Amino acid sequence: MTQIVVRVDSDTDRALTHLVKLTGQSRSEVVREAIRAAEREAVLERVRKQALAVRDDPADRAQMLALAEEMESLRAW
C-alpha cells in the first residue's frame, strides 16, 4: 500500500475527525473512501456531460433515432 501525506486546513481536519467518529473507520479508511467516492462522481459527471452533448447534437440525435428505428424493424412481434 502506498503512503501519502496530505495537508488539510482546520475545517477539513474537523470534518475528517467527525467522519471517523460517525463511521468508526480509521482516518485512512475515511480518506480512501472519500477518494473513491470523488472518482466515481467525476466519472459519472463526465458520462452525464457526454450524454448531454450527444442529446443536444442534431447529427448524433438523428443517428440514434435511425438506429432505434432499424432495431425496431428487426424486433420480433
Residue 4 lies in a domain: no
Identify whether 1 is part of a domain.
no
Q: How many structural domains does the chain have?
A: 1
Q: Write down the H helix ranges in the chain.
A: 10-23, 27-56, 58-74
pLDDT at 64: 86
Does the predicted model carry a pTM greater than 0.85? no
- pLDDT the model gives residue 26: 98
- Residue at 5 is within a domain: no
- Tell me if 51 sits within 8 A of 44, measured CB to CB: no
The confidence score (pLDDT) of residue 55 equals: 85
Q: In a structure prediction context, what are the per-residue pLDDT tens digits for the chain, which is 77 residues long?
A: 999 999 999 999 999 999 999 999 999 999 999 999 999 999 999 999 999 988 889 998 899 899 999 999 888 76
- What is the per-residue pLDDT for 77? 67
